[in-house]
Structure 1
Amino acid sequence: IDKLVKQGAEGVILGCTEIGLLINQQDHAIPFFDTALLHAQEAAWLATNS
Structure 2
Amino acid sequence: MTELSVTIRDASNPIPILTRKRPESYVLVLMKKVFDKLWHWVSFIT
- Give the number of the structure whose alpha-carbon radius of gyration is greater: 1
Which structure's relative contact order is higher, taking Cα pairs within 8 Å and 6+ residues apart? 1
Richer in strand (by share): 1
Check whether TM > 0.5: no
Provide the TM-score with structure 1 as the length reference: 0.36
Richer in helix (by share): 2
Provide the TM-score with structure 2 as the length reference: 0.39
